[in-house]
Amino acid sequence: MLTQILISFKIYFIVVVIFSASQIFSSEDPVRAKNGLVVSASDLASNAGIKILKEGGNAVDAAVATGFALAVTFPQAGNIGGGGFMVIHLNDSRNTTIDFREIAPFSAFEKMFLDSLGNYNPEKSTTGMLSSGVPGTVAGLIYALNKYGTMRLNDVMQPAISLAENGFILDEKLAASINSMNEVFNRYPSSKKIFTDNGGELKAGMLFVQKDLAETLKKIKDKGSAGFYEGSVAEKIVEFSNKNGGLIKQEDLSNYKAVERKPAEGNYRGYKIISMAPPSAGGIILLEALNILENYSFNKEEWGSSEYISKLCEALKYSFADRTEYLGDPDFVNIPAEKLISKEYAQELFKKIKNNGVVSSEKIKPNLFDNHEEENTTHYSVVDKDGNAVSTTYTLNSWFGNGMVVDGAGFLMNNEMDDFSSKPGSANQFGLLGSDVNSIQPHKRMLSSMTPTIILKNNFPFLILGSPGGSTIPTSVLQVILNVIDFGMNIKDAIDAPRIHHQWIPDRIDYEKFGVTEDVRQNLISRGYKMGEVRSLGRVEGIEVDPQTKVYYGHSDKRSQGKAAGY
């Protein structure tokens, strides 16, 4: 009897331990769903997207709802005062992209950020209203909804309006993030009113209500794009811009158009890659690097080795050098995009890498330099029950843009003008020259690195992903793709694994904590690399689809504060 009791207890104990372990592991696993998944940097925004999917909306409806909700719950980068890119795959095999990047105001000019001595002044392109491009987000989200969505604007905007009007509980991370900008918000009464407590810091746990933003969102809901680009909201933007030395006028707002563009498309080891074409450099860098790397066959043990990191870095150096030489707004400059993403061109580069080994960046493309880019953007990925998928990255450029809330309209403005090359053709502090493909011109779009991407297997979504991170965006997206396709990691491990970054100039490898062991570091140095900063690289919000079962797996980067929500 006693033995029986002991055996039963042992079985019970084992079951409890296994069950607890599986609970522990399942909380570590990617979120699993069959009907739809939304992964974003904000749990409330992911929930808004899922609500729309549950109400019968498709992935585009949910993406528009998530985009508007992020503007309320993730003001660091979610926005209506900025711009971005949306990549769409529809289950009838159509693939398309929507470019809602900001444009330079009509009265912007090439040398607007140079001082009287002709020196570039970065302060001017990152702060104040002069740093703002004409916002594109509202036009882009509404374009997507009207053409590819199924629901009314009224319905998809409701979650965002409720979150702004009724408020939400400010969590520790958002409070800390807002408070880190307290000094900036205190400079502008309109920002101070919303993002400070009478000048002091906001408290975690408080109800964060944004009445002015709710009113602006309602105007958009009622009038569509005209609710933002015309009428009282537009008047507020123009008045605020005039008052603060900005260049945005009514004609800039009235003329803003989101543009539907052909995706940057390619394939990698039998998977179809659909990404963003210029004016984002993201898709081209990604495809160029993948095409070069396809010439290697990686074995699983190679991950993290100096050999693997070297292959990655050489592919990235050539891809980033081409970015600086060739890429800008396709409506203003001729871009040899087809060549840059062709397998033949990748073969040429691969041969150079094979023959020359590690070469210094200056030897790859002399006389060019690249601009520093802000790294604060946000990405979200959506898939619905029918296999429609949306990958969106949008931004205010810096965290909270230029920190300036449009008075009475409740939203922050971008400082995206900083993404132009402000001093092309002149030597920079390193004595290197910039190309003028990304120079400032009226109504031109500034070059971006955003890389919203959808990967198809047999014409069904396989990966949907993207990241913030300025120039580290394409390298982050690239490494997650390689982790899944070449190294067999699941989406969570692929996203959370440490990353490295090389962007040609500066000629150095940045890497994450625990990303490069000491012997690998020494090995890379002995191969001729300079080791750079140890820092966080990207925050990927991704979805993977099991090609056999069509079950969806989502994961919000451990570096992010977000959530994968599914049902």
Catalytic residue IDs:
377
Q: Does 397 bind ligand GLY (CB under 6 A)?
A: yes
Q: How many residues bind ligand GLY (CB under 6 A)?
A: 10
Contact 414/256 with Cβ under 8 angstroms? Answer: no
CA distances from 86 to 34, 190, 393 (A): 23, 30, 7
Residue from 43, 294, 374, 544 that binds ligand GLY (CB under 6 A)? 374
Q: In this structure, which amino acid lies at residue 210?
A: Q
Nearer to ligand GLY, 375 or 557 (CB): 375
As measured in angstroms, the least distance from the Cβ of 376 to ligand GLY is: 8
> Cβ of residue 374: shortest distance to ligand GLY, in angstroms?
5
Query: How many whole angstroms separate alpha carbon 250 and alpha carbon 258?
Result: 17
Q: How far is CA 28 from the centre of its chain?
A: 24
Q: Is 449 in the site for ligand GLY (CB under 6 A)?
A: yes
Stretch that binds ligand GLY, among 164-172, 208-216, 370-378, 403-411 (CB under 6 A): 370-378
With binding defined as CB under 6 A, does residue 392 bind ligand GLY? Answer: no
- The whole-angstrom separation of Cα 405 and Cα 412 is 4
Assess contact for 73 and 168: CB atoms under 8 A: yes
> What is the rounded distance in angstroms from the CA atom of residue 57 to the CA atom of residue 62?
6
* 388: phi then psi, degrees, rounded to nearest 5: -80, 145
Distance of alpha carbon 318 from alpha carbon 307, whole angstroms: 17
- Of 156 and 284, CB closest to ligand GLY: 284
**78 vs 461, which CB is nearer to ligand GLY?**
78
Amino acid at 40: S
Quote the tokens at residue 467.
């990241």
Report the nearest approach of ligand GLY to the CB of residue 441 (Å): 17
Of the candidates 401, 402, 377, 396, the residue with the CA atom closest to the CA atom of residue 452: 377
Cα angle for residues 90, 92, 94 (degrees, 5° grid): 55
- DSSP-H helix ranges across 262-305: 282-293
Q: 31 or 417: whose CB is closer to ligand GLY?
A: 417
User: 416-435 mask for ligand GLY (x: CB under 6 A)?
Assistant: ---x----------------
Count CB-CB contacts under 10 A for residue 356: 11
Q: Which member of 45, 71, 217, 450 binds ligand GLY (CB under 6 A)?
A: 450
Question: Left, alpha or beta for 93 (phi > 0: left; psi -120 to 50: alpha)?
Answer: left
Stretch that binds ligand GLY, among 437-445, 448-456, 487-495, 498-506 (CB under 6 A): 448-456
> How far is Cα 461 from Cα 271, in angstroms, rounded to an integer?
10
Q: Which residues ranging from 128 to 147 are in contact with ligand GLY (CB under 6 A)?
A: none
Give the span between the Cα atoms of 55 and 53, in whole angstroms: 5
- Of 61 and 418, the one with the shorter C-beta distance to ligand GLY is 418
Residue 241 in the binding site for ligand GLY (CB under 6 A): no
Cβ-in-10-Å burial (0-12, 13-18, 19+) of 191 comes to: buried
Query: Which residue lies nearer to ligand GLY by CB, 319 or 448?
Result: 448
The stretch near ligand GLY (CB under 6 A) out of 111-119, 232-240, 243-251, 445-453 is: 445-453
- Out of 373, 407, 510, 544, the only residue in the binding site for ligand GLY (CB under 6 A) is 373
Q: Least separation, in Å, of the C-beta of 140 and ligand GLY?
A: 14
Cα angle vertex 411, ends 179, 185, to 5°? 30
Neighbouring-strand partners of residue 32: 553
In angstroms, what is the minimal distance from the CB of 530 to ligand GLY? 24
With CA atoms as reference, report the closest residue to 190 among 139, 230, 234, 241.
Answer: 241
Q: Around Cβ 330, how many Cβ atoms within 10 Å? A: 17
Residue number with CB closer to ligand GLY (274 or 417): 417
What residues from 464 to 493 belong to the interface with ligand GLY (CB under 6 A)?
470
Where in 322-351 is the site for ligand GLY (CB under 6 A)? none
From 395, 438, 475, 483, residue interacting with ligand GLY (rule: CB under 6 A): 395
List CB contacts of 278: < 8 A, sequence separation 6 or more: 284, 327, 328, 329, 330, 335, 337, 447
Nearer to ligand GLY, 370 or 374 (CB): 374
448 binding ligand GLY? (CB under 6 A): yes
Of 49-57, 62-70, 312-320, 369-377: span binding ligand GLY (CB under 6 A): 369-377
- Using the rule CB under 6 A, give the single segment among 32-40, 289-297, 378-386, 443-451 that binds ligand GLY: 443-451
Task: Pick the closer one to ligand GLY by CB: 388 or 395.
Answer: 395
The residue range among 293-301, 372-380, 511-519, 531-539 that interacts with ligand GLY, by the rule CB under 6 A, is: 372-380
Q: Which of residues 298-327 bind ligand GLY (CB under 6 A)?
A: none
Count of CB atoms situated within 10 Å of the CB of 218: 16
Interface residues toward ligand GLY, by CB under 6 A:
373-374, 377, 395, 397, 419, 448-450, 470
